[in-house]
Amino acid sequence: MTVNAGVPGRPPAGRDTIGITLMTSADTEAAVAMIREEQPDARISFRGVTYKIESDDVLVFDMARLGERLGRPIDTDLFLVNMSTYYGRMEVSDDLVRIHSDIRPERFQ
């Protein structure tokens, strides 16, 4: 959904779309492949130097499964080295990076 910002007095609509932008890298290529398989509804666009991955619900990056694809261990710290930006509500926990569409996910209540 595109926000029609140019309309004076438009009612706030609130999009559910959230996303992450990852710099082009070997780690990112594996993450993109993982999302394509595990979250087929996610939309992925390649911007030359980055990939933008978007969803209308939640994006989940599991480090254990990502490491299996890469053939080497990876944790949230190293994964986040590849992240350039995101939008939505970020939550970093044990070996998981999640981005929520909810404006106030459970952890923040």
Partner 1 sequence: MTKKKSLVEVHEKSKSYDWDYPEPDPKYPSRFIIPKTGKDPFRMLVRDYVRMEEEKDARTYGFLDGALRMQVAEKTEPRFMEALKLTLPDLTNAEFQAVAGVGMIARGIGNQELRQGYYAQMLDEVRHTQLEMSLRRYYVEHAPDPAGWDIAQKALYQHPGGHVSLALFQNFNTGDVIDAVINLNVVVETAYTNILLVATPETAVANGDHALATTFLSIQSDEARHMANGYGTLFAVLQDESNVPLINEALERHFWHSHRGLDALVGWQSEYGAVHRPWVYKDQWQEWVADDFIGSYVDKLTEFGVEPPTRLAKVAQDVSWIHHSTALALAAIWPLNFWRSDVMGPADLEWFDRHYPGWAQVYGPFWAGHAAMADPSSGRLMLQELPSLPPFCQVCQLPCIMPRPDLSEIRVFEHGGRSIAVCSEGCDWIFHRWPQAYEGRKSFWAKYHGWDLADVILDLGYVRPDGRTLIGQPSVSLETLWTIDDIRRIGFEIKDPLAG
Residue ranges binding partner 1 (CB under 8 A)? 1-3, 5-10, 12-19, 21, 23, 47-50, 76-78, 80-94, 101, 103-104, 107-108
**Cβ at position 70, least distance to partner 1 in Å:** 15
Nearest-angstrom CA–CA distance, 71 and 1: 37
Tell me the C-alpha to C-alpha distance, in Å, between residue 79 and each of 40, 59, 97. Answer: 21, 14, 9
For residue 85, CA distances in Å to 7, 8, 15 come to 28, 29, 18
Give 32 or 90: the residue with its C-beta nearer to partner 1: 90
- The residue among 68 and 102 lying less far from partner 1, judged by its C-beta, is 102
The distance of closest approach from Cβ of residue 106 to partner 1 in the complex, given in angstroms and rounded to an integer, is 11
CB nearer to partner 1: pick between 18 and 66: 18
Pull the structure tokens for residue 61.
């990056």
